[in-house]
């Protein structure tokens, strides 16, 4: 069965919902959001902790409450959200094949917004040596089991990775009576927000072992212990620093990967670094009419930024539907010294642009510089920048006039 639509949004998580609401508020019809779960909200449903919405709503909300704002809005606007519908493929001609209990549907659409979010990096992908007992879980899976399914995973936990999910789970498990023995982090600094180190670890006396990693997993059927070791500046284990920690559960919080299987299946060009689509200032991918936003584009720390980015993608879709993209952006944006990646990858130099980026290490007292060759276009002072906190900067079209290239870099003050 083939169904025609103006816009198909893949995913009714925070990105998809915000995009749908923005489109609908602007009067666009023929929009459908495809969601594989039986409910909307995406990952926010299992993020029962607070800290969401500080920027967007000036309130401190929990994940489900943040999602609820958009779900209520979407319902009020009568937006079509098809739940229990999994997109299994997308063609380069924007034909979207969907599996649902009603059958196999094919949507033919003018525009697509990719909002599929992320998956987690796994033990297999890390190649942690040792036995393969039960008791190793990624943090997101543990969070889903504990918060949604009412299933407890263990009694004595070690967490590898100090990203926000790992820190949040440290607190969550402790509150549910589990002993969290330590959080082990390979880098010399925590990968999560500073506030989470305070309210998740310090509050509960959970040790944070920086510059350490897990080098072996022991246990026959169920995990018995892990061996950790100190690592050097290159992340390599230092010999004779091995220490065994007895535990029955190892939680991995070791990175998120944008879920772009559908995108690459359609031929969307991906950035090796971000693992998300290569986009222009309109968040349009290499396929015309296909836009990306949220975690599927690049991994965010704050859902507030996800919503803003999704609203931007929606506005771009509106312009696109009105046939107003004549030229393609042709100014390459380069990630210079100190910058790990910057989005968008190309700009036109004619419009206001929101730049999102991450630095490559911890920096103090620096200038974030936008340069055209050796000309400094604009700079911003920062006391402190960390790779775990995405930087969002807005530049005006007037700032970017007449440039032929753009490099973003860190200069020491």
Partner 1 sequence: MKNFFDVIIIGAGAVGCAVARELSRYKLDIAVMEKESDVAAGTSGRNSAVVHAGFNNKTGSLMAKLCVEGNLGFEKICKELDVPYKKTGKLVVAFDESDIKGIERLMDAGKKNGTPGLSFIDADAVKKLEPYVGGIGAMLSSNTAITNPFIYTVALAENACANGVKFYFDNEVRGISRKDGKFRVSAGGEYYYSRYIINAAGLYSDKVSALAGDEGYKIYPCRGQYYILDKRTSKFLNMPVYPVPRPGIGGLGVHLTPTIEGNILIGPSAEYIKTKSDYSVTQDVMKQLFSEAKELLPPISMRDVIRNYSGIRSKLVGPKVGGFGDFVIEESQVVPDLIQLIGIESPGLTSSIPISKKVRDIIGNKENLVEKSDFIGERKGVLEFRQLSTEEKDRLIRECPEYGEIVCRCEQITKREIMDAIENPLGVRTLAGIKYRARAMMGRCQGGYCLTRIVEILTKEYGIPVKEITLRGKESKLFTGKVK
Partner 2 sequence: MKFEKEMTCIVCPNGCKLEVIQNDSIIVKNALCPKGEEYARNEMLNPVRNLTSTIRVLNGRLPLVSVRSSKPVPKGKLTEMIKILSEIDVEAPVEFHQIVVKDILGTGVDIIATREVLRDYIK
Residues that bind partner 2 (CB under 8 A): 45, 48-51, 54-55, 60, 62-65, 68, 147-150, 175-177, 193-199, 203, 301-302, 389
Q: In the window 130-169, what residues touch partner 1 (CB under 8 A)? A: 130-135, 138, 140-141, 144-146, 148-155
195, 240, 234, 216: which is closest to 389 by C-alpha? 195
Give the sign of the dihedral formed by CA 198, CA 200, CA 201, CA 204.
positive
Nearer to partner 2, 98 or 193 (CB): 193
Q: What angle do CA 307, 312, 316 make, to 5 degrees?
A: 145
Contact of residue 134 among partner 1, partner 2, none (CB under 5-8 Å per partner type): partner 1
Nearer to partner 1, 144 or 348 (CB): 144
Shortest reach from residue 153's CB to partner 1, in Å: 6
Following DSSP, what letter does each residue of 164-230 receive, concatenated? HHHHHHHHHHHHTT-EEEEEE-SSSS-SS-HHHIIIIIGGGT--EETTEEEEEEE-SSB--EEEEEE
Q: How far apart are CA 412 and CA 393, in angstroms?
A: 18
77 belongs to the binding site for partner 1 (CB under 8 A): no
Nearer to partner 1, 296 or 406 (CB): 296
Nearer to partner 1, 139 or 385 (CB): 139
Contact of residue 221 among partner 1, partner 2, none (CB under 5-8 Å per partner type): partner 1
Nearer to partner 1, 62 or 91 (CB): 91
Compute the radius of gyration of the chain from its Cα atoms. 22
- The answer to whether 223 touches 136, Cβ cutoff 8 Å, is yes
Peptide bond into 175 cis (omega under 30): no
403 belongs to the binding site for partner 1 (CB under 8 A): no
Contact of residue 199 among partner 1, partner 2, none (CB under 5-8 Å per partner type): partner 2
Going by DSSP bridges, is the β-strand pair 212-218/225-230 parallel, antiparallel, or unpaired? Answer: antiparallel
Following DSSP, what letter does each residue of 58-70 receive, concatenated? SS-EEHHHHHHHH
Judged on CB neighbours under 10 Å (0-12, 13-18, 19+), 383 is exposed
220 belongs to the binding site for partner 1 (CB under 8 A): yes
Nearer to partner 1, 59 or 102 (CB): 102
123 belongs to the binding site for partner 1 (CB under 8 A): yes
Instruction: Name the residues that contact partner 1, by CB under 8 A.
Output: 1, 36, 84, 86, 88, 97, 99-104, 106, 119-120, 122-125, 127, 129-135, 138, 140-141, 144-146, 148-155, 176, 215, 220-222, 261, 264
């Amino acid at each position: 069965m083939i169904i025609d639509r103006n816009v198909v949004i893949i995913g009714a998580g925070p990105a998809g919902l915000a995009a749908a609401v923005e489109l609908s508020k602007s009067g666009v019809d023929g929009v459908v959001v495809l969601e594989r779960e039986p409910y909307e909200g995406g990952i926010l449903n299992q993020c029962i902790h607070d800290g969401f919405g500080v920027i967007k709503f000036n309130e401190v909300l929990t994940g489900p409450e943040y999602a609820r704002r958009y779900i209520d809005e979407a319902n009020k606007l009568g937006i079509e959200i098809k739940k229990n519908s999994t997109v299994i493929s997308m063609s380069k001609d924007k034909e979207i094949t969907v599996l649902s209990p009603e059958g196999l549907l094919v949507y033919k659409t003018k525009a697509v917004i990719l909002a599929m979010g992320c998956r987690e990096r796994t033990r297999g992908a890390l190649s942690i040596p040792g036995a393969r007992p039960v008791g190793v879980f990624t943090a997101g899976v543990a969070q889903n089991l504990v918060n949604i399914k009412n299933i407890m995973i263990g009694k004595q936990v070690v967490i590898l990775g100090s990203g926000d999910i790992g820190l949040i789970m440290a607190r969550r498990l402790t509150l549910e009576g589990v002993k969290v023995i330590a959080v082990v982090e390979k880098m010399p600094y925590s990968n999560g927000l500073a506030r989470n180190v305070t309210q998740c670890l310090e509050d509960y006396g959970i040790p944070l072992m920086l510059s350490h990693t897990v080098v072996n997993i022991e246990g026959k059927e169920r995990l018995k212990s892990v061996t950790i070791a100190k690592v050097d500046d290159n992340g390599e284990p230092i010999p004779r620093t091995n220490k065994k920690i007895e535990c029955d559960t190892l939680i991995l919080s070791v990175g998120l990967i944008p879920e772009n299987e559908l995108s690459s299946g359609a031929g969307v060009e991906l950035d090796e670094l971000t693992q998300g689509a290569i986009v222009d200032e309109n968040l349009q991918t290499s396929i015309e009419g296909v836009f990306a936003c949220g975690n599927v584009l690049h991994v965010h720390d704050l859902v507030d930024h996800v919503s803003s980015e999704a609203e931007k993608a929606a506005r771009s879709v509106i312009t696109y539907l009105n046939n107003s993209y004549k030229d393609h952006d042709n100014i390459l944006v380069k990630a210079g010294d100190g910058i790990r990646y910057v989005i968008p990858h190309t700009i036109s130099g004619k419009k206001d642009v929101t730049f999102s980026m991450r630095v490559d290490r911890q920096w103090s007292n620096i200038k974030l510089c936008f340069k055209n060759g050796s000309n400094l276009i604009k700079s911003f002072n920062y006391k402190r920048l960390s790779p775990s906190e995405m930087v969002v900067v807005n530049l005006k079209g007037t700032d970017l006039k007449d440039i032929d290239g753009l490099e973003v870099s860190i200069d020491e003050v």
